[in-house]
Amino acid sequence: MDENQQKEMFSYAYVRAVACVAGYGVHRPEPDDDSVDLVVSARGPLGSYRSPRLDIQVKCTARDWMTEQEVRFPLKRKNYDDLRGEGFLVPRILVVMTVPAAVEDWLSQSEEEMILRHCGYWLSLRDAPASDNAQSVTVDIPRRNVFGVEALRSLMETV
């Protein structure tokens, strides 16, 4: 497996771990032709709806794209267009996982704990403007938008 495939699998594992602890199911739609890598779903009533879902595009990058306030990520134009705008039955977000530069530093484990380094950040592109860029659009994800258990629960209740 090359490093890009490792990043993809690691970021899926992170989203799945967060969803598991939050009490939600996760599945992977096939084929991925609509910029949706994973779907998080709840069973029964939650917030205003029954069985809400959230579509997620997952990316992974080293921390060199971070500033003090945000994670700057160059998103392919196709993904940007697939995630932005209104009219989706199921809301969509982008989750960008940040990892150390060296693969061997991504995870450490003992009998007491398993540590995944570093974390993911989420962003809704619902209100994002159209772009004239041909290849990619750099999105700025506030670092306060950590994709964790409480954030996912809040997103699912808002859905």
Domain hosting 32: range is 3-158
Q: What is the spatial distance between Cα 145 and Cα 154, in angstroms, rounded to a whole number?
A: 12
Q: What is the spatial distance between Cα 22 and Cα 50, in angstroms, rounded to a whole number?
A: 17
Output the tens digit of pLDDT for each of the chain's 159 residues: 999 999 999 999 999 999 999 999 999 999 888 999 999 999 988 777 789 999 999 999 987 778 999 999 999 999 999 999 999 999 999 999 999 999 999 999 999 999 999 999 999 999 999 999 999 999 999 999 999 999 999 999 988
CATH number at residue 149: 3.40.1350.10
pLDDT of residue 65: 77
pLDDT of residue 33: 86
pLDDT of residue 26: 98
Length of the chain: 159
Enumerate residues 6+ apart whose C-beta is below 8 A from 141: 70, 71, 72, 73, 94, 96, 121, 122, 123
Total domains, the chain? 1
This prediction's pTM: 0.95
